[in-house]
Structure 1
Amino acid sequence: MLDRFFYREKGLFLQSLHPLSALMYIAVLLVLTLMFNHPLYLLGLLAVTVTAIRAVDGIDAWKTFFKVSLGAVFVIIIVNAVTVRAGETVIWHGPYIPVFGKLDVSLEAVCYGADMGLRLLDIMSIFCLYNFMIHPDRVMDLLSRFSSKSALVLSLAARMYPAMVIRLDSIREVQAARGINFNAGTLKERMGKYAVLIKILLLTSLEDSQETAEAMYARAFGSGRRSHYVRDVWRLRDSVCLTASLLALGAATYGWAKGLGTFSFYPRLAYLIDGYTGIVFFFTVIFLLSFPLMLSWGWHNCPFIKSKI
């Protein structure tokens, strides 16, 4: 059930990118999300991220992330609205509360909380994209060029939770086939049934760790220079996507230094659209970030483009 939140190889364009190019694209999305606080820019980044998630066929899992984020967004808005007194446009005069003082809610505080909630949704969506776009082993293989032993430890730790979830589901199905109903009985009886599941899971995990150690020993791990079973090939598509990501990062950094992409909430809300320059800058950054998605569409729908990149 939970395996739908993990990486699944489907032969899609974004999944075929070199891990360095894919990591740079995701890193740029994350940096720009943390850099900008303008609502329109955050919405644009969210649109790009969700489109990329759709391109890697992860939109169903993202809906779960979205539902969880909505609750967090609501909490952020409420907390910010009742604790911040910097806004001038008061939309509700509340009672006096000891310690907190007079409870006044301003439009600026509500909008700022919504903006921070939108940023949180962007960040969660980016990590959702990472789960479906890059295989963890490919990332660890990239890092292993600098420190192979540390990368191995990280790789084993990263795959531990998904492997345990899959194994737990399998054990539960076997126990259910033997007539054990985990939803029947009192709380104490159900806890006993789940305790048996955990015991079996622990035993199988210990057996898996022993098998991993034996496999490492049989392959002479640590005895010399490591070999590569599969090497990631750098293609034209990787150069194009990496260039687009770096150009988007450079343009965003330049615009941010010029005051673009920022929004003033206090003491009064600024204008969402402030001049022609901001519009051009916004569409430039979004276009550069959308370029890999355009290539993805062309790669899946145009054989000529697929043959060239």
Structure 2
Amino acid sequence: MFERFFYQEKGLFLQSLHPMAAISYLGGLLVLALLFTNPLYLLGLLLVILLCINAVQGWAIWEIYFRLSLTIMVLVIIINPLVVRAGETIIWWGPRLPVFGRLTVSLEAICYGAAMSVRLLAIISVFCLYNLMVHPDKVLSVLARFASRSALVLSLATRMFPAMIRQLENIREVQAVRGVDFHAGKLRERLPRYAALMNILLLSSLEDSLEIAEAMQARAFGSGLRSCYRQDTWRPRDSLCLGGSLLALAAAVFGQVKGFSTFSFYPQLGYLIQGPMTVVVLIIILLALSVPVVLSWGWQRCPYFKAKI
């Protein structure tokens, strides 16, 4: 069950990108999600992220992320209008409460809560895309060139939880084959079974740690400069994706400085489209961010194009 949340090699285009290109693209998406306040820009950014998730065949996983974040999004939309009173367009007057005073709900607060919910969903979707798109070992291999010991600690830490989940499932299956039912009986009767399960998991984890230490010693870890088992090749596809990310960031900064991509919620709602440049900057950003999606589409349908990039 939990393995679906972690990286799975599928041989897709976005998974074939160089780790630095993939991290740069995902980092650009995250920065833009934190930077934008205009709902149109946030929705456009979310659309691009969803297209990328579709390109890595991750709809089933994203739906789980969406269900988990839906509750928080609804709470933000509900709580923000009740707490924030900066809006001038009051659409509901509530009763007076001690300390808080009279409750009011403004249109601006509702719109702000909805926009922040879209931003939250975009940020969560970026992390979902990261899990589907980037192999953690490749990322840590790149970082290991600059700080090998820190990268080793990060690698062990990031692999610990998925490995423990897989071990736990294997141990549970073995125990079930032996006739142990973890769901039968009352809580007091089930606790000893789970305690035995945790004991086996602890022993298995200790054995794995000893094996890792022996492997590090056999490979002479720390005795000299670190060598790389596999070198990731920088290809034209990586340059195109990196160029698209940089172009999108440059256009976003230009739009923020000139005020084309900004939006004011308080004290009154501003204009979503402040002029033609608002649409122009938005189109440039979306087209630049869509470069990996377009390349993925061509990579799947044209063998010649696949060979060239």
TM-score by length of 1: 0.98
What code does the residue aligned with 1:306 have?
K
The aligned counterpart of 1:166 is: 166
Secondary structure of 2:103's counterpart equals: strand
- Deviations along 1:207-251, whole A, 9 cap, x unmatched? 000000000001111111122111101111111111111111111
Q: Displacement of 1:273 after TM fit?
A: 2.0
The aligned counterpart of 1:208 is: 208
The aligned counterpart of 2:275 is: 275
- CA separation in 1, counterparts of 2:195 and 2:72? 32
Q: Does 1:157 align with 2:152?
A: no
The aligned counterpart of 1:196 is: 196
- Deviations along 1:234-293, whole A, 9 cap, x unmatched? 111111111111111111111111112211111111122221110111011000000111
Q: Displacement of 1:63 after TM fit?
A: 0.3
- CA separation in 2, counterparts of 1:254 and 1:295? 26
- Deviations along 1:155-202, whole A, 9 cap, x unmatched? 000010011111111111111111111111111122222111111111
Structure 1: gaps (5+ residues): none
CA contact (8 A) 2:49 2:125 kept: yes
The aligned counterpart of 1:233 is: 233
The aligned counterpart of 1:62 is: 62
Indicate the larger mover: 137-146 or 255-264: 255-264
What code does the residue aligned with 1:30 have?
L
Matches within 5 A, 1:4-15: 4-15=4-15
The aligned counterpart of 1:81 is: 81
Matches within 5 A, 1:94-109: 94-109=94-109
CA contact (8 A) 2:260 2:275 kept: no
- CA separation in 2, counterparts of 1:94 and 1:20? 53
The aligned counterpart of 2:217 is: 217
- CA separation in 1, counterparts of 2:246 and 2:140? 22
Secondary structure of 2:105's counterpart equals: strand
- CA separation in 1, counterparts of 2:280 and 2:251? 11
TM-score by length of 2: 0.98
- CA separation in 2, counterparts of 1:12 and 1:6? 16
What code does the residue aligned with 1:238 have?
D
Identity percentage of aligned residues: 60
- CA separation in 2, counterparts of 1:262 and 1:170? 52
The aligned counterpart of 1:253 is: 253
Indicate the larger mover: 66-75 or 205-214: 66-75
- Deviations along 1:20-73, whole A, 9 cap, x unmatched? 000000000000011101111111111111111111111101101101111001
Indicate the larger mover: 294-303 or 175-184: 175-184
Structure 2: gaps (5+ residues): none
The aligned counterpart of 1:48 is: 48
The aligned counterpart of 1:288 is: 288
Q: Does 1:123 align with 2:123?
A: yes
- CA separation in 2, counterparts of 1:258 and 1:159? 44
Q: Does 1:177 align with 2:192?
A: no
Secondary structure of 2:92's counterpart equals: strand
- CA separation in 2, counterparts of 1:42 and 1:114? 11
- CA separation in 2, counterparts of 1:182 and 1:44? 47
The aligned counterpart of 1:110 is: 110
- CA separation in 1, counterparts of 2:14 and 2:7? 12
The size of the alignment, in residue pairs, is 309
- CA separation in 2, counterparts of 1:262 and 1:194? 54
